[in-house]
Structure 1
């Protein structure tokens, strides 16, 4: 992507977020987007088929960047990185997640709000679930437990993020990460791992 094309896409993405906050996605027209971004309709259609394509590309870009940053964390600890075995691992991951959410808070508030995109919410939940399953020691939990634990944890995590955004992110990413990692570590070691150790 050349610099001019990248700048145009950024203008349209920013326009989309601003207009979604102001009037909701359903009420946005191509005319609204081009006027807000100060470009002509022809330029819009060079990049996107319609407003749905613009939204989907923005969502996919967010998730790809999210995945790339998450992968960079686990690559730092290739031998040692088992998500639930150390509280420091959990703390680092949650701190990363909440910091990234805060950096993209305008976009996330719109997509995860009451009138947000349910398709994106499902994509984000699936991403969180796959990241968890990938980094948990199956032998300590068991495949069946892991399957459902991943679903429960992903739903809970999405709920936490939505609550945090809805209440104005009063806690810092670091504060929220400390609280959530304490809860998750306690549940893992006090319930899941304990049940395995008893067998």
Structure 2
């Protein structure tokens, strides 16, 4: 029942954010839309920002599903774009409010997990230090989230599939090459 209630509260917040800015939405608005009382809201969430965090943590992570391998990571990244596009008003409303931090935190977290899994897979038979792998993961995390944030900032008008195609042209195979360079450096040192 708890997950059902959380999902219902999340849906109410998303519904309200289609017509109101986040700063104008109250807990009373959410519980009225959801048909529960304030106590129920506070049983599950500390405040509206905790609910917003729950939405992004659960939904952004789940949209990538199993697309976190070297062969499929672009599909996982595309799924993030498509989720953001499907939740256009929620995302823009959050981006243009003090809730922006919640959005960015969860984009960084989701993309980090995506890239980490890819780097871990590619480096499995390589002699690359954890520090070097972490650097590669963070480099791509910041680059990819930068693309997402710029796309959001420009009102999400560019086609996500075109962005992924362009991204693929620019960095196809680069994660592997970066790890190879790290491995070569590591071998020179030892």
TM-score by length of 1: 0.68
In structure 2, the partner of 1:97 is: 80
SS for the counterpart of 1:72 is coil
Give deviations 1:131-152, integer Å, cap 9, x for gaps: 2112222227542222122222
> What stretches of structure 2 of length at least 5 have no aligned partner?
none
What's the CA shift for 1:111?
A: 2.7
Task: Count matched residues.
Answer: 180
Match of 1:77 in 2: none
Give CA deviations for 1:9-42 in whole Å, capped at 9, x if unaligned.
Answer: 523442245332xxx52x544455567x396xx7
Specify whether residues 165 and 140 from structure 1 end up closer, same or farther in structure 2 by C-alpha distance, changes over 3 A only: farther
Q: Which residue of 1 aligns with 2:109?
A: 126
What is the aligned counterpart of 1:112 among 95, 100, 111?
A: 95
Deviations 1:64-123 (A, max 9, x none): 23323323334xxxxxx3x2xx4xx34322222211221122222233346443244223
Structure 1: unaligned runs, 5 residues or longer? 75-80
Q: Given the superposition, is the C-alpha separation of residues 91 and 52 from structure 1 closer, same or farther in structure 2, using an over 3 Å criterion?
A: same
Tell me, yes or no, if the aligned pair for 2:92 and 2:155 is still in contact at 8 Å.
Answer: no
Q: CA deviation at 1:166?
A: 1.8
What is the alpha-carbon distance in structure 1 between the residues aligned to residue 16 and residue 66 of structure 2? 30
CA RMSD of aligned residues (A): 3.4
Do residues 71 (structure 1) and 72 (structure 2) align?
no
What is the TM-score normalised by the length of structure 2? 0.71
- Following superposition of structure 1 onto structure 2, how do residues 115-194 of structure 1 map, counting pairs within 5 Å? 115-136=98-119, 137-138=122-123, 139=126, 142-185=129-172, 187-188=174-175, 191-194=178-181
Contact between 1:129 and 1:150, CA under 8 Å: does it hold in 2? yes
